[in-house]
């Protein structure tokens, strides 16, 4: 078992309750930590056997691009997309 981490992903997005937040936007930094079993990946040395870092980044990028009022809603979107893409995921932070 291992934790795969993508830290410091930077996105410019338009989340917020107030009109100024929605119009001006701001910088966000996203960190993702995924707990998974890496046994198959260590044996095969193939990206198909593990969580693809690029796919994790693309999920975060796509969800950050959807304007929402609450960061909690953005987080929920990331969680749901990660669950669909990586059913082998044991934990997500």
Each residue of 34-64: b (16+ CB within 10 Å) or e?
bebeeeebeeeeeeeebbeeeebeebbeebb
Span of 1-5, 8-12, 74-78 with lowest mean pLDDT: 1-5
The model's pLDDT over 6-65, given as tens digits with 9 standing for 90+, comes to: 999 999 999 999 999 999 999 999 999 999 998 888 899 998 888 899 999 999 999 999
pTM assigned to the model: 0.91
What pLDDT sits at residue 41?
Answer: 86
Q: What is the arithmetic mean of pLDDT over 58-77?
A: 98
């Amino acid at each position: 078992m291992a934790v795969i981490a993508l830290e410091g992903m930077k996105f410019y997005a338009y989340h917020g309750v107030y009109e100024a937040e929605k119009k001006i936007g701001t910088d966000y930094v996203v960190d993702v930590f995924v707990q998974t079993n890496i046994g198959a990946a260590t044996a095969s040395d193939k990206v198909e056997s593990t969580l693809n870092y690029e796919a994790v980044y693309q999920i975060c990028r796509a969800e950050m691009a959807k304007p929402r009022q609450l960061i909690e809603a953005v987080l929920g979107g990331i969680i749901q997309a990660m669950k669909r893409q990586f059913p082998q995921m044991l934990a997500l932070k």
